[in-house]
């Protein structure tokens, strides 16, 4: 009886260990064309409209974001990858244009500043909709830490009609971004 318990304890420990792992864990990928290593999440964070349009057969617009660490021979650069997967609910402005989206955190608004990705090879994340918009924005480690500590994380994007569309995460971003900071060695401990 005692020996029969050992495999059961092992199996429970293994299953428990697997259940605790995040489905959006950080990963590294080498862009063989440029020689740059990217530190990204396994999947970008999905954001859904905070106030979806009511009615008929409209397909909602979704947004996705993810931090990116570019490592070129030890020189680190950070950015925020943003993807808008358009639905037929509302037309949004071009996020690559002069009016950049903003992040809304517990401690205030973060104005995003567009950047050119230092990597011209592999894109940091796979787009949910190939016809959607993708842009990169400057990201400091301090802002990434603020995002990880914030209970609130919203993305505000301008709509073609002059209004603003707000997107909220569909999962807990604090745990995901905290794990990213830990895996990238950016906890400041």
Backbone angles phi, psi at 169, to 5 degrees: -65, 150
What fold does the segment set 26-184 form as a domain?
Answer: Immunoglobulin-like (2.60.40)
Could you tell me the end-to-end alpha-carbon distance of the chain, in angstroms, rounded to an integer?
46
Closest CA to 128 of 5, 45, 38: 45
Instruction: Say what the pLDDT of residue 144 is.
Output: 97
Where exactly are the structural domains of the chain?
A: 26-184
Instruction: Say what the pLDDT of residue 27 is.
Output: 83
This prediction has a pTM of: 0.81
Instruction: Say what the pLDDT of residue 120 is.
Output: 66
Instruction: Say what the pLDDT of residue 111 is.
Output: 94
Instruction: Say what the pLDDT of residue 165 is.
Output: 92
Give the CA distances from residue 106 to residues 18, 74, 153, 154, in Å, rounded to whole numbers and listed in that order. Answer: 32, 33, 7, 10
Three-point CA angle 77, 80, 82, nearest 5°: 145
pLDDT average per 10 residues of sequence, the chain (189 residues): 39 38 63 86 93 64 95 93 88 87 96 86 85 94 96 94 92 94 84
């Amino acid at each position: 009886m005692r020996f029969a318990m050992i495999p059961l304890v092992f199996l429970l420990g293994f299953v428990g260990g697997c259940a605790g792992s995040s489905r959006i864990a950080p990963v590294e990928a080498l862009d063989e064309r440029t020689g740059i290593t990217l530190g990204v999440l396994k999947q970008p964070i999905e954001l859904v409209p905070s106030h979806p349009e009511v009615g008929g057969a409209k397909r909602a617009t979704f947004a996705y974001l993810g931090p990116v660490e570019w490592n070129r021979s030890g020189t680190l650069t950070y950015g925020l990858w943003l993807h808008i997967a358009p639905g037929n609910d509302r037309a949004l402005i071009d996020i690559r244009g002069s009016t950049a989206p903003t992040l809304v955190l517990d401690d205030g608004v973060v104005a995003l500043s567009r950047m050119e990705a230092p990597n011209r090879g592999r894109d940091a994340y796979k787009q949910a909709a190939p016809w959607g918009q993708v842009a990169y924005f400057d990201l400091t480690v301090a802002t990434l830490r603020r995002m990880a500590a914030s209970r609130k994380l919203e993305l505000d994007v301008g709509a073609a009609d002059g209004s603003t569309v707000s997107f909220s995460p569909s999962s807990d971003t604090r745990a995901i971004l905290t794990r990213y900071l830990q895996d990238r060695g950016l906890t400041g401990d």
